[in-house]
Amino acid sequence: MIEIKELHKKFGKNEVIKGLNYQSSDKGIVTILGPNGSGKTTLIKVILGMVIPDSGSVLLNNYSILDKYEYRNIIDYLPQIARFPENITVRELIYMIKNLRGSKTRDEYLITYFGLTPFLNKRLVALSGGWRQKVNLVVALMFDSPYLILDEPTSGLDPLSVVKLKKFIIEECNRDKLILVSTHILSFVEEMASELLILDEGKVKFTGTLEELKRITKQSKLENALATMQEISDV
Q: How many residues does the chain have?
A: 235
Which 8-state DSSP code applies to residue 171?
A: H
Using DSSP, state whether 6 is helix, strand or coil.
strand
What average pLDDT is seen over the chain?
A: 93
Query: In which band, very low, low, confident or very high, does the pLDDT at 233 lie, cut at 50, 70 and 90?
Result: low
pLDDT in tens, 18-49: 999 999 999 999 999 998 889 999 999 999 99
pLDDT in tens, 173-186: 999 999 999 999 99
Per-residue pLDDT for 172 more than 80? Answer: yes
Average pLDDT over residues 212-221: 94
Query: In which band, very low, low, confident or very high, does the pLDDT at 81 lie, cut at 50, 70 and 90?
Result: confident
pTM, 2 dp: 0.93
Average pLDDT over residues 42-58: 95
The CATH class that applies to domain 25-38+69-234 reads: alpha beta
Per-residue pLDDT for 66 more than 80? Answer: yes
Query: In which band, very low, low, confident or very high, does the pLDDT at 235 lie, cut at 50, 70 and 90?
Result: very low
Asked if 145 contacts 44 with a C-beta cutoff of 8 angstroms, the reply is no
Average pLDDT over residues 128-144: 95
Per DSSP, which regions of the chain are E strands? 2-11, 14-23, 28-33, 55-60, 63-64, 75-78, 147-151, 178-182, 195-200, 203-208
